[in-house]
Amino acid sequence: MIHSRTRAINRTQARLLLHYINRPPSQPYHTFRSTKTRHERPHKPTPKLRYPIPFVTNIKEVQDPDDALTLFHEYQQMGVKHDYPSYSSLIYKLARSRKFEAVETLLDYIRDKGIWCRETLFIALIQHYAKSNLVDKAIDLFHRMPSFNCARTLPSFNALLNVLVDNDRFGDANAIFGRSSKMGFRRNSVSFNIMIKGWLEKGEWEQACHVFDEMLEKEVQPTVVTYNSLIGFLCRRGDLGEAMRLFEDMNRKGKRPNAVTYALLMEGLCSLGKYKEAKKMMFDMEYRGCKPRLVNFGVLMSDLGKRGMIEEAKSLLLDIKRKRIKPDVVTFNILINYLCKEGRVSEAYKILVQMQVGGCEPNSATYRMMVDGFCQAGDFEGGLKVLTAMLTSRHCPRLETFCCLVVGLIKCGKIDGACFVLEEMEKRKMRLNLEAWEALVRNACGDNEGASGLLNALISAPS
Residues 6+ apart with CB under 8 A from 167: 130, 133, 135
pLDDT tier for residue 32 given thresholds of 50, 70 and 90: very low
Most confidently predicted of 68-82, 371-385, 391-405 = 371-385
Q: Distance (Å, rounded) from C-alpha 338 to C-alpha 136? A: 40
**What pLDDT is recorded for position 416?**
87
Res. 402: pLDDT tops 70: yes
pLDDT reading at 229 higher than 50: yes
The predicted structure's pLDDT at residue 16:
45
Contacts of 311 (CB under 8 A, 6+ apart): none
- pLDDT score, position 348: 96
pLDDT in tens, 278-304: 999 998 998 889 999 999 999 999 999
Residue 352 has pLDDT above 80, yes or no: yes
Average pLDDT over residues 75-94: 86
302-338 per-position pLDDT tens digit: 999 999 999 999 999 999 999 999 999 999 999 999 9
**Residues near 45 by beta carbon (within 8 Å), at least 6 away in sequence:** 37, 38, 39
Burial class (CB in 10 A: 0-12, 13-18, 19+), 299: buried
What is the per-residue pLDDT for 441?
61
Greater confidence, 29 or 391? Answer: 391
| Residue 11 scores a pLDDT above 70 | no
What would the DSSP string read from start to end of 387-410?
HHHHHHTT----HHHHHHHHHHHH
Kindly state the greatest CA–CA separation across the chain: 85
CATH 1.25.40.10 in the chain is located at: 327-397
Query: Which has more pLDDT, 433 or 229?
Result: 229
Q: Do 438 and 424 contact (CB within 8 A), yes or no?
A: no
Fold that domain 327-397 belongs to in CATH: 1.25.40
Distances (CA, A) of 274 to 60, 240, 304, 346: 49, 11, 12, 31
The pLDDT of residue 365 is above 80: yes
